[in-house]
């Protein structure tokens, strides 16, 4: 077993809802994954259409996973690309440690601090009522922010190179989260959010992120 719970004390940022493993992958492995993924993933620019205007998402993305696991948000429906070998081996490791199953992953490439993700919850119907989302960070440190959906102040935490953030069942129903712009960041950050898409989920949600 490669993962040692005693060396990797998780931080419970929200009780039973948001857990951070700051050093899930050691530096050697994190560096290798970052370089591999930067080169091997088909990073795509997607657009959202708002009042007839095509607006580029402020990041590059790639939807990957099992055939049929299509995913819709912000007016796009994504059909998954097949598994990349690095993405697949990370998936297997997460499944073992978290004792759950994922069949797809959204990969995000934040080219620098101008790239971001706005406030949202990953609560599309195809994710089911209580999704577990496992979010791996590689590359530049970035701040992750979250706040209660129904009032209350926001909190934030830094997601370091090689960290794992686990969003559990209630997180998506109770909170919004975001990856704000970061003025001084000049380096790339890669983020992988592993999900389980229900096979016959409807694809009618229109969310803007
Ligand atoms: O980049 C991140 O850490 C957040 C990504 C995210 O929230 C998402 O892909 O839904
Ligand atoms: Fe999200």
Render pLDDT for 158-171 as a digit per residue (tens, 0 to 9): 999 999 999 998 89
Cα gap 194→114, rounded to integer Å: 24
* 107-134 pLDDT tens trace: 999 999 999 999 999 987 777 767 899 9
Percent of the chain whose pLDDT exceeds 70: 90
CATH fold of 21-195: Jelly Rolls (2.60.120)
* Predicted ipTM beyond 0.95: yes
Q: How far is the CA of 173 from the centre of ligand 2 (A)?
A: 12
Quick: pLDDT tens for 45-93.
999 888 889 999 999 999 999 988 888 777 778 889 999 999 999 999 9
Measured in Å, residue 25 CA sits from the centre of ligand 2 at: 21
pTM over 0.95: no
Ligand 1 pocket, Cβ-based, cut-off 6 angstroms: 106, 108, 117, 122, 135, 144, 159, 177, 179, 191, 193
What are the sequence ranges of the domains in the chain?
21-195
Nearest-CA residue for ligand 1 atom 1 is 191
Looking at residue 204, what is its pLDDT? 41
Confidence of residue 21 (pLDDT cuts 50, 70, 90): very high
Q: Cα(16)–Cα(25) distance, rounded to whole angstroms? A: 22
Q: How far apart are CA 148 and CA 84, in angstroms?
A: 35
């Amino acid at each position: 077993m490669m993962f040692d719970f005693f060396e990797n004390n998780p931080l419970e940022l929200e009780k039973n809802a948001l857990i951070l493993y700051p050093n899930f992958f050691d530096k050697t492995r994190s560096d290798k994954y970052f370089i591999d993924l930067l080169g091997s993933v088909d990073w795509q620019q997607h657009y959202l259409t708002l009042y007839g205007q095509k607006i580029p998402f402020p990041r590059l993305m790639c939807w990957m996973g099992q055939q049929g696991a299509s995913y819709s948000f912000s007016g796009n429906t994504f059909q998954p690309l097949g598994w990349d070998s690095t993405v697949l081996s990370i998936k297997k490791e997460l499944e073992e440690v978290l004792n759950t199953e994922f069949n797809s992953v959204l990969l995000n490439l934040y080219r620098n601090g101008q790239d971001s993700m706005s406030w949202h919850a990953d609560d599309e119907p195809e994710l089911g009522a209580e999704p577990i989302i496992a979010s791996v960070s590689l590359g530049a440190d970035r701040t992750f922010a979250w706040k209660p959906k129904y009032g209350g102040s926001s909190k934030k935490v830094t997601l370091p190179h090689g960290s794992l953030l686990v969003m559990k069942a209630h997180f998506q129903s109770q909170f919004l989260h975001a990856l704000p712009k970061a003025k001084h960041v000049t380096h790339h950050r890669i983020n992988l959010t592993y999900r389980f898409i229900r096979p016959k989920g409807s694809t009618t949600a229109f969310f803007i992120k």
